[in-house]
Amino acid sequence: MTTQSPVDETTVLVVGAGPAGLVLGNLLLAAGVDCLIVERGSRAHVERRARAGFLAADTVRVLADHGLADGLKARGREHGVCVFRTGSGEFALRYADLGRRESHTVYPQQELVADLVDAFLRRGGDLRFGTTVSAMGGLDGDRPWLTAEGPDGTPYRLSGRYVAGCDGRHGISRRLLPAGTVRRHRRRHGVTWLALLAEAPPSLPAVTYAVHERGFAGHMARTPAVTRYYLQCAPEDRAESWSDAEIWAELDLRMRAERFGPLRRGPLLERALVDLESDVLDPMQHGRLFLAGDAAGLISPSAAKGANLAVMAARTLAEGFAAALHRGDEEPLARYSATCLPRIWRAQEFSHWMIGLLHAPAGDDEESRFLRSLRDARLETLRTSLPHQHSFADGYVGI
C-alpha cells in the first residue's frame, strides 16, 4: 500500500525509490531521522524493474547490518566463479578463492527493491509513489524545498533540512548542481549491448563472458527460472529489430553452443539497448543537496557495480545526516563527496578495464587489429597469471 501522509515537512527529503533512496530511507529511520521518499513510478513499476543482480559482499554486509538482508539471505545464491570463452577455448576464474576471497550474492534488483520498500513501510516510513519532483530550491539556505506532483496532478510543496537526490541518471537533482561548482566526467564507451531477460533457467553454472569476432555475448543467472543475456550490437540497432530467432541464433554462435553445449531457450521477457556510459559528478553535493547512486556516478554495467555503489553511497550519506542532526557534526557531510569519489573511481577504473577485456572493434583497419590483439593479450594474461587473477578477483568483487 502506498502511504500518503498529510505531513509536508520532514527532515530529509529523498527523491527516488531505487536502491540508493530506499537504503538511505531505511538507514535514516533506523537512526531516528525523519525522512520522506518521493518516487515518480508506481510501486508495481519499481518492484518489477529488472536490472542488477550481482551484489558484492560489502553491499550484503551493509544490508545485513541494518536488518535488510533477510530476503537475499533466503533466496539469493552465492556465486564465486566466472568463465571466459574465446576462440581458443574457455577458462574458469574461481574468484571466491582468490584475492579478497569473497563471492557475489545473486539476487535480482527488483526483489531487493521490493524488500526495501516493505521494510521502509513497516518502519512507518512515508513513501509517496506516483509522485514526481518537478522543482527544487532553497539549496543554499537551511530549509530546502521540493515541488511534487502526486497521482492527481496537483503540485504541492515539501520542505526539509536536507535533500538527497537519489533519482538516477535522468533525474532532476543532478541538473541542479550549479554549473561552475561541479565538474562532469563523462565517457561514452562506444559499445552498445542488447540486454535480454529470458524466462529460462540458467544454461551454465557460472557467469560466462564470450569474446567473439562478431562481438561480446554474456550469460548471467538471475533466478532458477530467469537468465540475463547480453549481446553486443551496433549502436544504431533497435531492440525490436532483433527477432527472437535471431537473438537465440546469435547467442548460440557467440557462446559457441556447438562446442560447449546448447543454451536453454525460453520467452524473452525484456529486451533493451544499453549504451555503455560513465558519468561522474564532482562534487556530488551543493549546499543542502546531496546526490547518491546513478544520479552522482553512472557506471557502465560491464562489471556489475552500479547498485553496489548506490548502496555504499547511501550508507555514507545516512551516517553524514545522522552526525549532523544528532551531534551537530557537519564534518562527515562536508566530506561526503571526498569519501565517496575514490570508491566510485576505483569501480569506474575496473569497469573500464572490463570493457577493454571483453570488446574490440571488428574492422580490418590497423587500429581495430591493434585493439583486438591487445584484448587477446589481456585475456591471455588473465588466463595464465595468478597475480593477475588475484588482482582481478579484488576488483571484480570489491566495492
Of 125, 301, 320, 395, the residue at the interface with ligand RFL (CB under 6 A) is 301
Of 108, 125, 144, 171, the residue at the interface with ligand RFL (CB under 6 A) is 171
Size of residue set near ligand RFL by CB under 6 A: 36
| Active-site annotation holder among 301, 336, 352, 359 | 301
Shorter beta-carbon distance to ligand RFL: residue 79 or 372: 79
Q: Counting contacts by CB under 6 A, is residue 105 touching ligand RFL?
A: no
Shorter beta-carbon distance to ligand RFL: residue 297 or 372: 297
Q: Counting contacts by CB under 6 A, is residue 304 touching ligand RFL?
A: yes
| Active-site annotation holder among 219, 305, 352, 359 | 305
Looking up cell 521540493 gives 146
Q: Quick check: 104 and 121 in contact, CB under 8 A?
A: no
Sign (positive/negative) of CA torsion 337, 343, 344, 346? Answer: positive
Q: Counting contacts by CB under 6 A, is residue 306 touching ligand RFL?
A: yes
- C-alpha count within 13 angstroms, C-beta hemisphere, residue 287: 17
* Footprint (CB under 6 A) of ligand RFL, residues 52-71: 52-54
Dump the DSSP string for 307-360: HHHHHHHHHHHHHHHHHHHHH---HHHHTHHHHHHHHHHHHHHHHHHHHHHH--
Dump the DSSP string for 246-305: HHHHHHHHHTTHHHH-PPPP--EEEEEEEEEEEEEEESSEETTEEE-GGGTEE--GGGS-
Site string for ligand RFL, 221-250 (x = CB under 6 A): ------------------------------
Of 13, 36, 133, 207, the residue at the interface with ligand RFL (CB under 6 A) is 133
Shorter beta-carbon distance to ligand RFL: residue 239 or 253: 239
Whether residue 305 lies in the annotated active site: yes
- Nearest-approach distance from CB 198 to ligand RFL, in angstroms: 13
Shorter beta-carbon distance to ligand RFL: residue 293 or 372: 293
Shorter beta-carbon distance to ligand RFL: residue 239 or 371: 239
Interatomic CA distance for residues 173 and 299, integer angstroms? 17
Query: Applying CB under 6 A, which residues contact ligand RFL?
Result: 15-21, 38-41, 46, 51-54, 109, 132-133, 166-168, 171-172, 195, 274, 293-295, 301, 304-308, 310
